[in-house]
Amino acid sequence: MKKLCLALLATLLTNQTALAEPAQYEDDAEFKHCVKMTNDLDACVQEETKRVLNSVKNKYKKILGNINLLSWNGTLKENTAVMRDMYESWTAYRNRLCSLAEAAAVNAETIITEKYSCTLYQTQHHLSQLDKIAQLMQYTGAEQNNEFDLFKVYEHDDEYNACRQKGQPKSECLSAELERTTRRVKDLYSSLLHDENVGKWNNGPNLQNGNYRDMFDSWIAYRNRMCSLSDWAYKYAKIQPKVGVNECVLFLTKEHASFLDNALFLAHSSLDMGFEDELGGGWVEPPVNDGGLTEGQTITPLQRRVEPNTSL
């Protein structure tokens, strides 16, 4: 079945410079059997998400149980605390991102409820990242192996290439590109907050209070922990060229920008005004769009805030 996770992402990315096509994930046999027997796509997607999420939890346990991981944070207790924070912040981020996607898609005709397809995609995507980490922990070769290129999906922007051509150190060029990308992310948050179709999803007065702040904080907290883990895994595997923290942070920041771009695109993917019924039924009013207010109110504010170390 064709995935509609973040329904129009592929179309959006064709107009974005330096962004790659999103990953595609195959449905499992249970999903295909469910669709065949019930033809209830929403229910089958939700069931598949539960199975994938169970695999995510098991992958966390496998990574945490590897004795070599002790060199990451020093003790099993500390590793457990950081992995717990990574899982909780990822879950909070995923839930908010997919709630936003649902609010944005209120006027779009999706085959699968957008929140369900988004949740499945994000869970599959997280499992894929964890799979790569687990593979790195089993690999001890010193030669280059592109199979483990976790965070080199996106090309660098023109400014980065110009910076390198001038002979500037790679670290400085990466830092400048990350600064530009982070600025782009913050601009997108501001655009979403002031958008007539998804602004009220914030369920708060500004970017410092509400769903957008919670989503940003939980994403930053997850991103920082994932990049710390991936940096350790690359060092452990002795793979060259190594993908360091800066590359990982840049990748996940560009990826986050693409998801936010998609939310804006979804929010305006259908006519905002009425239209003439082609069958001669006269003027048809579009679905009511309350600016995502209803969907935004279904998100529970973060009760345990994992320190993100970055401000919006």
Query: Among residues of the chain, what percentage have pLDDT more than 70?
Result: 80
Query: Which helix (H) or strand (E) is 250 found in, with range?
Result: helix 245-267
Residue 186 has pLDDT above 90, yes or no: yes
**3-class SS at 76?**
helix
Using CA atoms, how far apart are residues 22 and 261, in angstroms rounded to an integer?
13
**pLDDT (tens digit, 9 = 90+) per residue, 82-116?**
999 999 999 999 999 999 999 999 887 788 999 99
Mean pLDDT, all residues of the chain: 84
Reported as a pLDDT band with limits 50, 70 and 90, residue 284 is low
**pLDDT (tens digit, 9 = 90+) per residue, 190-222?**
999 999 999 999 999 999 999 999 999 999 999
**pLDDT (tens digit, 9 = 90+) per residue, 145-174?**
555 566 655 788 899 999 999 999 988 998
Q: Name the least confident of 24-28, 169-173, 293-297.
A: 24-28
- Nearest C-alpha neighbor of 30 from the set 54, 62, 7: 54
Using CA atoms, how far apart are residues 255 and 205, in angstroms rounded to an integer?
27
Q: Name the least confident of 64-68, 184-188, 228-232, 244-248.
A: 244-248
From the CB of residue 283, how many other CB atoms can be counted at a distance below 10 Å? 9
- Nearest C-alpha neighbor of 243 from the set 168, 167, 310, 144: 144
Phi, psi of 9 (to 5 degrees): -60, -45
Reported as a pLDDT band with limits 50, 70 and 90, residue 277 is low
Bridge-partner residues for 206, per DSSP? 209
